[in-house]
A and B are shown apart, each in its own frame.
Chain A
């Protein structure tokens, strides 16, 4: 993740961008928690909802990998399928952790 590139793309200063990423890490963690539970409980409706939130937020910041993973889960769930959802949750978690670490280094 190149913070300079991502923030430039959005037309923001780096510190502004980092502030939003912090917000994303918080809300993303909570959305991801909900997604994880929903997948375990096979609650398709909740899966759609939480994956849609993650997709929107990550897309808006340009976190393409998370965006694509969440999008795939949402599309599948809309077709009533949870295929690949567990793997996607893991992948999203990994990316989110990496982002969290990176910005704690930058802002901390």
Chain B
């Protein structure tokens, strides 16, 4: 599409001679030209063919040029396409209106071929430069996102772990992270973390944490020891001010014991087969900020069918209400109660959907991990 040999210009005018003149002029310079005779047709062609530039007449019957550009700018598929207005009007008012609505330039009728070509060339160059800058930046982030995605374990990869997951990152490089590890035959570790900040450095940290989990979540270490080891390495490698909150759950299906550690993270939800749902509040320091950390351990004797949800704060946060989780917590408990009969594999996505009804705007990454004994 960005092949300079084949740049496409969409011409929008209801006047046939004007269209022909511009079409000839542009084609001679090697542009690919598509034509619309009114506003609605223009909008359809614009989103369908993604032209590199639009020349738009202002005065047209029905939808006029101002209305067309407004709609083009509202549509995510066409918002980026530069629009030059064609106008017989030379009044300053209509020019300002056009610029306010997002036009990049004006060409006043009657046309002068060289002027048209010069303006078209100028704005195509600007647009190409901007797009290549954006795409090279986005490409870098996409590579990281791909790397992150390939690090994430899918429920099918580890069926013995019996978990379901929902994972959404807001930006190309997300700060949320989860992992599920097999520690021994019947013992699995489940880990959800939220890295402070949202930059590229954040995603390098998640790769580091993944490696650290593999090294330290092993049978000889108790959960608190694993987290302490990870903390000490992170404390060495993280730049100042960087840290992560996390929840680590280790489930031994043989001894029917769930061990939970919380590192400054929102409380896990415990949903026993028989009994009341409980939020597992535990004291614990964040990871990576300082050396001498303390983690409270909670061991729960579980039975088959008991469930746990660990998640990141994006699930319970309200827009503009970053620190108060009370209301979100109540919704969360209510949703968990209703989800008892949903298969665990689907439960995390369903839980996110149910929370979505109450927390309308997502301002953060979200991870939800559901575990079944």
B-contacting residues of A (Cβ < 8 Å)?
Answer: 9-12, 16, 20, 23-24, 27, 52-53, 55-57, 59-62, 64, 67
Contact = CB atoms under 8 A, between A and B. Distances in A.
B15 A56 contact: yes
Interface stretch (B106-114, B121-129, B328-336): B106-114
B110 A20 contact: no
Contacts of A20: 17, 20-21, 24
A61 B25 CA distance: 12
Nearest to A61: B17
Nearest to A9: B112
Contacts of A11: 25, 28, 113-114, 116-117
Given A59-B88, A60-B109, A10 B17 contact: no
B227 to A, nearest CB: 72
A16 B109 CA distance: 19
Contacts of B264: none
Given A16-B24, A20-B20, A60 B15 contact: yes
A71 B51 CA distance: 33
Contacts of B59: 52
A56 B113 contact: no
A54 to B, nearest CB: 10
Contact of B18 (A9, A16, A57, A64): A57
Contacts of A61: 17, 21, 110
B1 to A, nearest CB: 26
Interface string B1-37: 0000000000000011110110011001000000000
Which of A9, A10, A11, A52 lies at the interface centre, i.e. has the most chain B CB atoms within 10 A of its CB?
A11
Interface of B: 15-18, 20-21, 24-25, 28, 59, 88, 109-114, 116-117
Nearest to B20: A20
B17 A9 contact: no
A28 to B, nearest CB: 9
Interchain residue pairs A-B with the least CB separation, the first 7? A11-B113, A59-B110, A57-B17, A56-B15, A60-B18, A10-B113, A11-B25
Contacts of B16: 23, 27, 57
Contacts of A64: 110
A27 B20 CA distance: 13
Contacts of A52: 59
Contact of A62 (B20, B110, B114): B110
A30 to B, nearest CB: 11
Contacts of A27: 16-17
A56 B117 contact: no
Contacts of B28: 11-12
Contact of A59 (B20, B109, B116, B117): B109
A69 B117 CA distance: 28
26 contacts: A9-B112, A10-B111, A10-B112, A11-B25, A11-B113, A12-B24, A12-B113, A16-B24, A20-B17, A20-B20, A20-B21, A23-B17, A23-B20, A27-B17, A56-B17, A56-B18, A57-B18, A60-B15, A60-B109, A60-B110, A61-B17, A61-B21, A61-B110, A62-B110, A64-B110, A67-B110
A62 B17 CA distance: 11
A64 B15 CA distance: 17
Which of A12, A16, A57, A60 lies at the interface centre, i.e. has the most chain B CB atoms within 10 A of its CB?
A60
A60 B20 CA distance: 9
A27 B18 CA distance: 12
